Amino acid sequence: MPLAFCILAHKNPEQLRGLAQALAVERSTIVIHYDKRAPSVERDAVEKLVEENSRVTLIKSRKVNWGRWSQMQAQLDMMEKALEVDSSWTHLLTISGQDFPLQTVEQMERILNEEPKQSMIEWFDPFEAGRWKDARERITRWHFDSDALHRFLRLPGIGRRVASFLGWQNRIPFLPGVRRQPPTSFRWYGGSNHHNLSRKAVEYVVRDPRARLIGRRLRRAGFPEESYIQSALLNSPLANTLVNTDRRAIFWEQPDSPSPKILTMGDLTDLQAARQQGKFFARKFDTDVDAAVVAQLATIVA
């Protein structure tokens, strides 16, 4: 049975083109969100990509603020569109424009359709797992998701001085002096922002009123894209259909690094090992840094 792929991208349309081509088998559904802040020449290139490939749909762009609800909302928009454009896919996989598959689409289909009702996501208790040093900050602070504030804070001089004065350096801007209690109407979970969801799970997180209530509580949380799907599904009737794995290969320079390392040909052995372990995708790649590693993987999953 076919799969759907939702790709959240913000740079390098040619790299995105290669990713879409690797996933665009005849029965795939591919939905792309390309950040509204990207230069018009890049957005034009993505629109051309869509015109050339009937399996790809481009949704209306948002200005996505990293680690805030606008990022989660762009993903929900893509999920809603995927439900609309094709009724036949059984699972939806969320990826970024800097991911690349380690398995063929056929191999992913075979694995996921062994248990068609299951979803594969990573989850943990943020307060107990020790994975997030800022767990309490994420859930108790009231965070801003404002494009105007985003642009102001990027201004040389005054914007940076304001960020420094308010303690926002390298942090998502929050309302000073305001703390909220952790939620009591549901149990809060965290995990990676890479999901392999059954169609019923997608319908639930996008449309169910119970999920939307959780979404409203997390709208001002930090990094809600790393907790909404987990919290919605693990507090739902679908909880027993979840398997705790995201099947992603992500490599870090340091355990507490804010972003994964850029993968190169020097990482090919690790990537091949991840493929043997059954990982679906690896990240992150940048063809401006090393295009050869992406080209090599493309020959494997062709």
pLDDT at 215: 97
Supply the mean pLDDT for the chain: 94
pLDDT grade for 290, boundaries at 50, 70 and 90: very high
Query: What pLDDT digit, counting tens, does each position of 210-262 carry?
Result: 999 999 999 999 999 999 999 999 999 999 999 999 999 999 887 667 788 99
Question: pLDDT at residue 112 above 90?
Answer: yes
Question: pLDDT at residue 131 above 90?
Answer: no
pLDDT at 179: 95
pLDDT at 169: 82
pLDDT at 108: 97
How many angstroms separate the Cα of 84 from the Cα of each of 2, 5, 77, 81, 202? 15, 14, 11, 5, 12
Q: Which fold has domain 3-129+186-248?
A: Spore Coat Polysaccharide Biosynthesis Protein SpsA; Chain A (3.90.550)
pLDDT grade for 121, boundaries at 50, 70 and 90: very high
Contact partners, residue 223, CB within 8 Å, separation at least 6: 67, 68, 138, 172
pLDDT at 151: 87
Query: What pLDDT digit, counting tens, does each position of 60-98 carry?
Result: 999 999 899 999 999 999 999 999 999 999 999 999 999
pLDDT grade for 167, boundaries at 50, 70 and 90: confident
Domain locations in the chain as residue ranges:
3-129+186-248
pLDDT at 130: 83
Question: pLDDT at residue 302 above 80?
Answer: no
Query: What pLDDT digit, counting tens, does each position of 132-158 carry?
Result: 999 999 999 999 999 898 889 888 889
* Residue 25 amino acid letter: V
pTM of the full predicted structure?
0.94
pLDDT at 28: 95
What number is the average pLDDT over the span 193-206?
98
